[in-house]
Amino acid sequence: MFETFLNLEESATVAINSLAQEKKAKGERVYNLSAGEPMLSPHPAVAKVASIAIAEGKTLYPPVAGIPPLRQASAQWLNTTYQTNYQTANTLITCGGKFGIFAACQAFLKPDDEVLIPAPYWVSYPAIVKLFGGKPITVMGDETNNWKVSALELEKLATPKTKMLILNNAGNPTGSLYARTELAEIVSLAKARGWMIISDEVYSGLSYDGEFISLGSFPEITDNLILVQSFSKHFAMTGWRVGMIFAPEYAIKILTKIQGQSTTGTSSISQYAALSALENATEIQTQVCAEMRSRRDALVAELNTFSKEKISAPASGLYLFFPLKILGVENITSAEFCLKILRDANIALVPGSAFGCEGYARASFGAPVEELKDAVSALKKYLKM
């Protein structure tokens, strides 16, 4: 086990962002296209409730599973927004969605269990699976189908050791959205094989061109489904660290025990702020989504003024995922290029290799439009295009 932790790789997005922050701390101008967050101030109602919570002394340990009003409101929000059917007892509040994924793998994976992970994938999935003795099996998505995987492709790589599927919809880094028919086929396969599914849906509220369909809206799979949601992305509350897990009661009880013996729970102040966010959900999500759409369109437009091939706007999420060759970058790995451009030109991108896809890069459009334009100008100057 010690060797497992010793060999654990640092998150590539965290590593790039850390180096960017180091440069910024030295007074250097950094063009940060690596951060995985919408750079927005909290909604006034959220900030106000957090201040009130402090003033009223709501600063003690909260219940391990989360304060009851937030658990109830979270289930109601998911049910109303995505046509699911969860109750308070099916809901756990976690320290961000990431801990929910971590705890689910800890709870339900045994050594040598195989976990199917569609690629390009979020950088932390394989590392988390390995931490608990599992074996991540990469299933490369179809670029011509917005990088999505089909049930047939999953079945080809399945073995008797396959016990879990981690599905990211809406996708990071690709922005892909699965259609209901595509999800129905995956659900049918998972149910027939007895797989557990972790459905990471934290980007669902940042859907611009297409309908987001939650796996929680398929009742036939909910007994084997861990649905992960978060306040970080579509409520623009990344630093508050509040996630939501929706699962069958037996799973919630197990995950609550893990949380009780690890993090103890999520900040009580953050939970009251999150409750306020749900009370203002329509307004906040509409504002955040509209602003991120504007930033997405700006970044795409700026890059397309000089890229060798047209970059298409992603249907969802916070990122553009593009081949480096359209920038004229060849004969160098994506990691080498991203480190070089950060060191030489203070431009932070994340290499495609971190997502299981060499030759690509991820650019975030979380920053304000003017910063995005400045970043693209710096990139164009560096590439001499």
What percent of the chain clears pLDDT 90, i.e. is strictly above it? 92
What pLDDT band is residue 17 in, cutting at 50, 70 and 90? Answer: confident
Identity of the residue numbered 183: L
| Residue 11 CA from chain centroid, whole number | 13
- Please give the domain boundaries of the chain with CATH numbers for all domains: 2-42+283-383 (3.90.1150.10), 44-280 (3.40.640.10)
Task: State mean pLDDT over 245-258.
Answer: 99
Task: State mean pLDDT over 157-168.
Answer: 99
Question: What kind and span of H or E run contains 51?
Answer: helix 44-55
What pLDDT band is residue 20 in, cutting at 50, 70 and 90? Answer: confident
Residue with tokens 């009780």: 260
Tell me the C-alpha distance between 7 and 277, whole Å.
39
Q: pTM (2 decimals)?
A: 0.95
**pLDDT tens digits for 270-283?**
999 999 999 999 99
Tell me the pLDDT of the chain averaged across its residues.
96
What pLDDT band is residue 177 in, cutting at 50, 70 and 90? Answer: very high
- pLDDT attached to residue 21: 84
- pLDDT attached to residue 193: 98
**pLDDT tens digits for 337-350?**
999 999 999 999 99
Tell whether the model's pLDDT for residue 8 goes beyond 60: no
Tell whether the model's pLDDT for residue 1 goes beyond 80: no
Tell whether the model's pLDDT for residue 7 goes beyond 70: no
Tell whether the model's pLDDT for residue 6 goes beyond 60: no
- pLDDT attached to residue 11: 63
Structure tokens at 49: 């409730």
**pLDDT tens digits for 227-249?**
999 999 999 999 999 999 999 99
Instruction: Please answer whether residues 167 and 118 qualify as being in contact, where contact means their C-beta atoms are separated by less than 8 angstroms.
Output: yes
Q: Is-cis flag, bond preceding 120, omega within 30?
A: yes
What pLDDT band is residue 76 in, cutting at 50, 70 and 90? Answer: very high
What pLDDT band is residue 4 in, cutting at 50, 70 and 90? Answer: low
What pLDDT band is residue 297 in, cutting at 50, 70 and 90? Answer: very high
Tell me the C-alpha distance between 225 and 183, whole Å.
13
Tell whether the model's pLDDT for residue 197 goes beyond 80: yes
What pLDDT band is residue 35 in, cutting at 50, 70 and 90? Answer: confident
What pLDDT band is residue 374 in, cutting at 50, 70 and 90? Answer: very high
Q: Read out DSSP for 283-344?
A: HHHHHHHHHHHHHHHHHHHHHTTT-SSPPPPPSBSSEEEEEGGGGT--SS-HHHHHHHHHHH
